[in-house]
């Protein structure tokens, strides 16, 4: 289970936070770390604060964009304390997230995405996630250091993995789920079809953002995505024949 959980850090500003996050991961048995456009990496501070987890730092993958980091995952959870105008399905705590995520791990990897130290994830980056996560904290001072947030999530993963290690899991209801890359292909197809039909004529309406949120809440299976793409293809062919 633990080897299918990926931690993604987006544009980390302080290299030391990369090392401290790697240390938090290793103490709980996680090893898959991906960095999206870190400000400075490799860096001695990252290795120093990793302490005995320098292998996690040395073996991490560095990519240019969030889609590159999560394309092969069947679930992408964005950690964010801010309310969004187009909310995705949201877990109010990492324990609830892990309970649900564990059901999907038989099908593929899941990613938990953490944003910049200063302002977290952008709305565009949240748009590449399938779910959101909030970590309950003191309402008067709910600011968590990046590595502390990673530690809390990693602990819940470790706790659940050890609790359920001897419990066989049945098939996932509604699965198998598509990867994020497959979802992106669907949304690109949907964009082409809606554009050709003249439906996307009011950019300010944020129609596509609303549709992304709708499909994220619906959590369609791979078969359902395939059916929807077949519907789009049939509509495109019908339009071309008019």
With 0-12 CB in 10 A as exposed, 13-18 as middle and 19+ as buried, what is 232?
middle
- Pairing type for strands 73-79 and 5-10 reads unpaired
For the chain, give every domain's residue range: 2-163, 180-241
Whole-angstrom distance, CA of residue 114 vs CA of residue 206 = 25
* Cβ atoms of residues 114 and 79 within 8 Å: yes
DSSP string, 87-108: PPPEESSHHHHHHHHTTTTTTS
pLDDT tens per residue across span 133-174? 999 989 888 888 999 999 999 999 999 999 866 555 555 556
Q: Which residues pair with 68 in a beta bridge?
A: none
pLDDT band at 228 (very low <50, low <70, confident <90, very high): very high
Strands (E), the chain: 5-10, 32-36, 61-63, 73-79, 90-91, 109-114, 131-133
Average pLDDT, the chain: 89
pLDDT band at 11 (very low <50, low <70, confident <90, very high): very high
Q: 144-148, 174-178, 185-189: which has the minimum mean pLDDT? A: 174-178
Q: 34-38, 97-101, 125-129, 198-202: which has the minimum mean pLDDT? A: 198-202
Identify the DSSP state of 59.
T
* 195 contact partners, CB below 8 Å, separation of at least 6: none
From the list 136, 115, 112, the residue with the least C-alpha distance to 124 is: 115
**pLDDT of 92 over the 60 cut:** yes
Q: Do domains 2-163 and 180-241 have the same CATH topology?
A: no
pLDDT > 70: what percent of the chain?
90
**pLDDT of 231 over the 60 cut:** yes
Instruction: Give me 213's structure tokens.
Output: 């949120």
From the list 53, 48, 79, the residue with the least C-alpha distance to 66 is: 79
* Cβ atoms of residues 107 and 172 within 8 Å: yes
180-241 — its CATH code? 1.10.8.590
Class of domain 2-163 (CATH, top level) = alpha beta
Residue 132 pLDDT: 93
Strands (E), 105-186: 109-114, 131-133
pTM of the model: 0.82
Number of CB atoms found within 10 A of residue 54's CB: 17
Residue range 68-75: mean pLDDT, rounded: 95
pLDDT band at 71 (very low <50, low <70, confident <90, very high): very high
Residue range 62-81: mean pLDDT, rounded: 94
Residue 164 pLDDT: 67
Instruction: Give me 94's structure tokens.
Output: 């990492």
* Cβ atoms of residues 196 and 156 within 8 Å: no
Residue range 42-50: mean pLDDT, rounded: 94
From the list 89, 102, 192, 74, the residue with the least C-alpha distance to 133 is: 89
pLDDT tens per residue across span 27-39? 999 999 999 999 9
Grouping H, G, I as helix, E, B as strand and the rest as coil, residue 77 is strand
């Amino acid at each position: 289970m633990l080897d299918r959980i990926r931690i993604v850090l987006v544009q980390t500003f302080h290299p030391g936070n990369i090392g401290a996050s790697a240390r938090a991961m290793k103490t709980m048995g996680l090893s898959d770390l991906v960095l999206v456009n870190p400000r400075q990496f490799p860096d001695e501070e990252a290795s120093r604060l990793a302490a005995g987890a320098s292998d996690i730092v040395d073996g991490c993958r560095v990519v240019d964009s969030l889609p590159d980091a999560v394309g092969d995952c069947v679930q992408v959870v964005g950690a964010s304390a801010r309310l969004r105008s187009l909310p995705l399905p949201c877990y109010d705590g990492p324990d609830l997230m892990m309970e649900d995520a564990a059901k999907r791990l038989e099908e593929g990897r899941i990613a938990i995405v953490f944003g910049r130290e200063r302002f977290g994830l952008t709305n565009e980056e949240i748009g590449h996630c399938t779910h959101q996560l909030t970590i309950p904290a003191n309402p008067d001072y709910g600011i968590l250091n990046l590595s502390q947030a990673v530690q809390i999530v990693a602990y819940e993963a470790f706790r659940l993995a050890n609790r359920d290690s001897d419990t066989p899991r049945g098939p996932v209801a509604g699965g198998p789920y598509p990867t994020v890359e497959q979802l992106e292909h669907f949304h690109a197809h949907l964009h082409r079809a809606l554009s050709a039909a003249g439906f996307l004529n009011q950019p300010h309406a944020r129609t596509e953002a609303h549709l992304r949120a709708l499909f994220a809440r619906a959590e369609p299976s791979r078969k359902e995505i395939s059916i929807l793409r077949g519907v789009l293809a049939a509509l495109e062919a019908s339009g071309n024949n008019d």
